[in-house]
Copies of this chain bind each other. A is one copy, B any other.
Amino acid sequence: MKTKRIDKREEGIGVVEPQYYTIDSLMLESGEKLGQVTLAYETYGALNENKTNAVMVLHALSGDAHAAGLDTERKNPGWWDSMIGPGRAFDTDKYFVISSNVIGGCKGSTGPSSVNPATGRHYALDFPIVTINDMVDAQKRLIDHMGIDKLLTAAGGSMGGMLALSWLVRYPDRIRSAIPIATAIKHGPQQIAFNEVGRQAIMADPHWNSGNYYGGPPPAKGLAVARMIGHITYMSDLSMEEKFGRQRKNGNEPFKFTADYEVEGYLRYRGDSFVKRFDANSYLYITKAMDNFDATELRPLQDSLQGQKTKVLVIAFKSDWLYPAYQSKEIVKACKRSGIETTYCEVDSTYGHDAFLLEVEEETHLISHFLKKVFHEYETA
């Protein structure tokens, strides 16, 4: 049995087709109504007859619906492929996993690069400000459509963790548990500041043209700079030291402002490859949604959770300085004070914020046990 399980882990779930669900309109927190909202999503595994085995995984800033398996086009694995599949943390032999691209995004869901049905032109900055809560509202409509009463869990890291917290606060009756990873109840000023500088870099690019660049060249240089800033914050000082040190690219001569050091070449490469797959306006809208998110906006988190039957697993990483562990502890404190069952784990990782994508073994251990328990309780409730 053990051997078979290991085989399955290596196999993964193969090529996955994207799916689309369109709702007529979505009322946003701002009071604006967004018409014709499409959600791109993927599913892995099979929904059981009682529809009690559905799990939603929630992507981060630059993620998309393609969380697992290989995509149809380029055969790329999903962003959490190591965590989703037969025998993996989100075991597709047991669970039905749903992953959707957030609204405001650019990977199939309606966002600023979509065509506004009212005008026939790309939304660009006519796209309304969307919030983390709006994104969750759209996801809720998707599980309504699927006939799923309750998700076993809503799980994600970074912005995905904010989405999980929003599920917890807004739809406690629609989830049995939540797994916020490497995230925060709300951004502090340093987190806002890094996002803001990224936005400024995009808006400083003349190709941005107040957001109206569709059909022309995109603000590639500005978006690349924004992404480079992001990558610095995703790694720890130590993981950069281990990966790059002061290793030079071109021998030992200091050339003028070329990428002398490995770390510079890495950042330039990551910046340049990002612009091929991401829309700059989506970057603006999604980072703004993260900055505006505050799970305590209406009332203290512990008051929101009071009396809920949901269980919470909070995971943080020691070397994550972008979403430091003390922010995860604030979530834990509120959960515990509210009386709901809460598990906290601070993983001793050196990967920095990226750890939520890389610490697969530790996360698999934590999540598979947690989910098993939640599923058992749901089945026997």
- Give chain A's interface residues, CB within 8 Å of chain B: 30, 125, 129, 186-190, 192-194, 196-197, 199-201, 203-206, 221-222, 224-225, 228-229, 231-232, 235, 237, 240-241, 243-246, 254, 256-257, 259-264, 267-268, 271, 284, 288, 291-292, 294, 321, 324
**Could you say which of B197, B199, B228, B246 contacts A232, with CB atoms under 8 Å apart?**
B197
In Å, the complex CA distance between A186 and B197 comes to: 26
In Å, the complex CA distance between A261 and B187 comes to: 11
- CB-CB under 8 A from A125, the residues of chain B are 256-257
**Could you say which of B187, B197, B294 contacts A267, with CB atoms under 8 Å apart?**
B197
Whether the pair A240, B189 counts as a contact (CB closer than 8 A) is: yes
Whether the pair A204, B189 counts as a contact (CB closer than 8 A) is: no
How many copies of the chain does the oligomer comprise?
2
- CB-CB under 8 A from A224, the residues of chain B are 200, 204
**Could you say which of B246, B260, B294 contacts A294, with CB atoms under 8 Å apart?**
B246
Whether the pair A246, B284 counts as a contact (CB closer than 8 A) is: no
- CB-CB under 8 A from A201, the residues of chain B are 201, 204, 225
In Å, the complex CA distance between A203 and B204 comes to: 12
**CB<8 Å pairs between A and B, sample of 19:** A125-B257, A129-B256, A187-B246, A189-B243, A189-B246, A189-B262, A193-B228, A193-B231, A196-B261, A200-B221, A200-B224, A201-B225, A203-B257, A204-B205, A204-B224, A237-B321, A246-B294, A257-B284, A257-B288
In Å, the complex CA distance between A205 and B259 comes to: 18
